[in-house]
Every structure is written in structure tokens, then in C-alpha cells.
A and B are shown apart, each in its own frame.
Chain A
Amino acid sequence: GENVEQHPSTLSVQEGDSAVIKCTYSDSASNYFPWYKQELGKRPQLIIDIRSNVGEKKDQRIAVTLNKTAKHFSLHITETQPEDSAVYFCAASLVRAGSYQLTFGKGTKLSVIP
């Protein structure tokens, strides 16, 4: 099955700096890569996603890049703010038994220091 590795597990940055979180996946058939943000005690919420036919996608201060050859993808957050503090999860999606299944990384706890 799919295996997703995520680094780093914790990340502290000063407010206004950039943050980068990296993930690798194992199955070249994976074709959809979402990123979820989870605040303490809350549900995971999608913040950005990318499909395998696209190399980069941006949405205001966040961007995701995908390198299919190397099987890795990254989340970039620029001009970080205290409200960006949360746990971020990457995931990779495969179709199995007629349904898309997500395999998640273990998460990165981002702390933005004011």
C-alpha cells in the first residue's frame, strides 16, 4: 500500500518568516495530494490540494509544489502569522476498490512565535 513520510515533526518559526513542510510518497499511482490543517481539539480542514498533472498551486500565502519523479511534495507558508500555528497533515490518494483512499503523514506541529 501507500506510505507517506512527513518532515519535520515540529517546526518553530518567527512571525513573518516562511515555513516549509515536506512529504514523500511511495506509490507512483497516487494522483491527488491534499494538505489539512488541524487546530487543537478541532477537525482536520483542507487548506490546499494538488493533482498529479500540476507542478505548483498557490492560494494567497500558501503554496504546494509536487515533484512526481522524486515522489515528493511540499507545503510553503509565507509571511507566517500566529493563527497559522496548528498541526499540518499531508496525504496521498489512491483509488482502491472503487473509492479514493487517503494515506496521511504523521503531521507537523507548526508554532509561529510572535
Chain B
Amino acid sequence: NAGVTQTPKFQVLKTGQSMTLQCAQDMNHNSMYWYRQDPGMGLRLIYYSASEGTTDKGEVPNGYNVSRLNKREFSLRLESAAPSQTSVYFCACKTAEGTDTQYFGPGTRLTVL
């Protein structure tokens, strides 16, 4: 079991370029989340998906779009990258039953020049 995986691990973009961050989980969890982590700011929720076919905005959704492709995969897209989107991005997932624990992926470090 890989748990939660993210690709790529690192990425450098120029302002205005687009890219998609990929997240996949093999834990059979219903809920998936995208966070960004900036120094001194903790983790802030960008978008989440409570179940396959649904997505909702979190605290900082501007400049991002998401797709819940199936139960396993949840992607985050930057249509026109800006330097303010330089951050570490974490994907997480959680089962709908029992524990409320969120399990995090290894992260993607994105730099926008």
C-alpha cells in the first residue's frame, strides 16, 4: 500500500504557465483535500471533495481548479501560475467512517518565477 502519492515532487514554472498536480490514494477513502503550506501560515485548505463527483471550495480557492477523476484520484490545476502560488502543496484523504484522521501525501514543492 502506497497510501497517498503525489506527482511531481518538485516543479518550477514561469508566471502564466499552467500545470496540474496529481494526487492518488489506495486507501479507499471517500474524502480528499488539497492544502497549501507557506512559511508561518500553517496548512490552508484550497479545495476538497467529500466524495466522488463532488468538489467544494476551501479557504483559499482563487487561482485553482480541481477534478475528482474517480474515487482514487484528485487533481489540482493552476491555469495561469503566479508567484504568489509558490508553495508546498499537500494532498490528503480521509475515510467517511470511524476515524476523522486525515492522511497526507509527501507534498509537491512548486516555485513560480
Contacts and interface: CB of A to CB of B under 8 A. Distances in A.
B112 interface: no
A111 interface: no
Given A45-B104, A49-B101, A89 B51 contact: no
A103 B60 CA distance: 12
Nearest to A31: B100
B41 interface: yes
B42 A99 contact: no
Contacts of A93: 100
B44 A104 contact: yes
B90 A44 contact: yes
Interface residues of B, number: 26
A43 B101 contact: no
B40 interface: yes
B39 to A, nearest CB: 9
A102 interface: yes
Interface of B: 31, 33, 40-45, 48-51, 54, 56, 58-59, 90, 94, 100-107
18 contacts: A34-B102, A42-B106, A43-B106, A44-B90, A45-B104, A89-B42, A97-B50, A99-B31, A101-B45, A101-B48, A101-B58, A104-B42, A104-B44, A105-B42, A106-B40, A106-B41, A106-B42, A107-B40
